[in-house]
Amino acid sequence: MKRTLLALLIATAMPVSALATPTFVSADKLWSYSHDPLNQELNKSEIPAYDSKTNTLWIAGVGGVDVLNAQTGALVQRIDVSSIGAVNSVSVKNGIAAFAIESSNRTSPGVVQLFDTQTRSQMGGNITVGALPDMLTFTPDGTRLLVANEATPATYGARVGNTTPRTYGPAANDPQGSVSIIDLATRNVTTATLSGVQETGTLLRKNTGMNFEPEYIAVNKEGTKAYVSLQEANGMGVLNLLTNTFDKIVGLGAKDFSKPGNEIDPLNNGTTTFGSYAAKGLYMPDGMATFRAGGKTYVVMANEGDFREDDGDRSAASSLGASGDLRNLRVANDLSSPGDLYAAGARSFSIRDEDGNLIYDSGSILDKKAAEKGIYDDNRSRDKGVEPEGVTILEIGGRTFAFVGLERTTKSAIAVFDITDPETSKYVDMIVSEDDISPEGLIAFGDGNGYFLAVANEVSDTTSLFRLNFVPEPGSLFLALSGLGLIGFTRRRRLSGNAQVSA
């Protein structure tokens, strides 16, 4: 107990950057903000961004963006964009906040708006991008803005014939998915499309009645490459930012749920029981992030899984002859056949190299840890489990931590992993937040006074801020204690305590 208290005292007294090999120990919720519960259709909490210049959080939520004081959680201003369309994402860099806004006619081009974070006034006019801009992010140097144009059709293509696996024709009006690359100095827009791009990997879904739909973008630290999740297609596009064209599209394959460590619970029967089953899960990542280790770039993916919005490309496994525990598992029609079932999502997060090769996968850890904490939602068992949605990275004191948001737990949950060595990544803890449900987006940041995690919760329409607490490992703790002259103090207290016990 004394050692723990001293460690916490040192962690408070010293900046974390001064500690060798810090270890995450806990998270304290500092505040939670409810985004207008009387108008939740428009005032939602989905994607957070942090501005260090004003110490504010910018929260995108359909009808507009709520700007919150990061210290207190108080509303600074609501910026309403509902007259233009729906805001899907916000990103902040160098005092500029960028909004991705889809048109009220979702198959028409969307726009990006830029705001000065200090005055909160729009900087120039709207910038036209592709249909349904779903996410956007700045390059590390802040000179360019990348926009993932998901371009979802209003009506999907219909099934062709009666074969199994099933195939689907093209949608009647399906805008081309793309990435818009905005030069912020000139406002010129370059569009990178996915037509005719080299394809590698396995199990890339192309016959689902829709085009490739970019979902999320993560950029390497050099700003030379971007990695684009093509969620429904189970793919990742590699975008060359020197040429502004895609180098390749990688099919991400599938995870074998029959192998040890990959157990799932496929039954919504009120009892949580994990086992090995003859089925596979398509990775289908949503949120992504990049980090460097050993001089290499790695991509972290939250393997949520997703079908078409009309669910026309999914069925219960029983329609393909499955029985027993697998009968209700929801599977992809375009790949599944009797005895060869492919579900959406891997119920995990994974780490891949730049070419899409799998380096690490969390297996069944996320589902099982949620069950241990009593927050596993058995109603989601047949359909993607805890549904990892978003991920954010924090690099601190020579270590790298991944925070993975779980969208489908009974309380808001964020899993924490130490991914410093990608191949031997380790589960650390799970942050469970009372009165919050369904984290959609999250961001970790430091402000000079500590390290924090902001979480936007889509179902409860709340945004919460946590202080992240770290302590050094025992070796560095000893050095820190020695430097502060506390080793002798600890020893004297221990001897004094022993004398009292003996008496």
* CATH at 45: 2.130.10.10
pLDDT at 54: 98
Give the domain range for residue 275.
21-472
The amino acid occupying position 75 is: L
Question: Is 2 inside any structural domain?
Answer: no
pLDDT at 448: 86
Q: Which residue has the tokens 């802040």?
A: 142
How far is it, in rounded angstroms, from Cα 121 to Cα 142?
19
- Give the DSSP letter of residue 164: S
Question: Is 317 inside any structural domain?
Answer: yes
Question: Is 496 inside any structural domain?
Answer: no
Question: Is 1 inside any structural domain?
Answer: no
Degrees, nearest 5: CA angle 189-292-453: 80
How far is it, in rounded angstroms, from Cα 163 to Cα 152?
26
How far is it, in rounded angstroms, from Cα 290 to Cα 216?
12
Q: Is the peptide bond prior to 266 cis by the omega test (within 30 degrees of 0)?
A: no
Question: Is 480 inside any structural domain?
Answer: no
Degrees, nearest 5: CA angle 465-466-472: 155
User: Which residue spans within 70-131 are E strands per DSSP?
Assistant: 75-80, 85-93, 96-103, 109-116, 127-131
pLDDT at 40: 65
Regions in the chain scoring below 50 on pLDDT: 1-19, 473-503
pLDDT at 19: 45
pLDDT at 497: 35
State pTM to two decimals.
0.90
pLDDT at 371: 98
Question: Is 8 inside any structural domain?
Answer: no
Degrees, nearest 5: CA angle 317-321-327: 40
Question: Is 119 inside any structural domain?
Answer: yes
307 in Cβ contact with 314 (< 8 Å): yes
Degrees, nearest 5: CA angle 204-206-208: 120
Question: Is 72 inside any structural domain?
Answer: yes
| Number of domains comprising the chain | 1
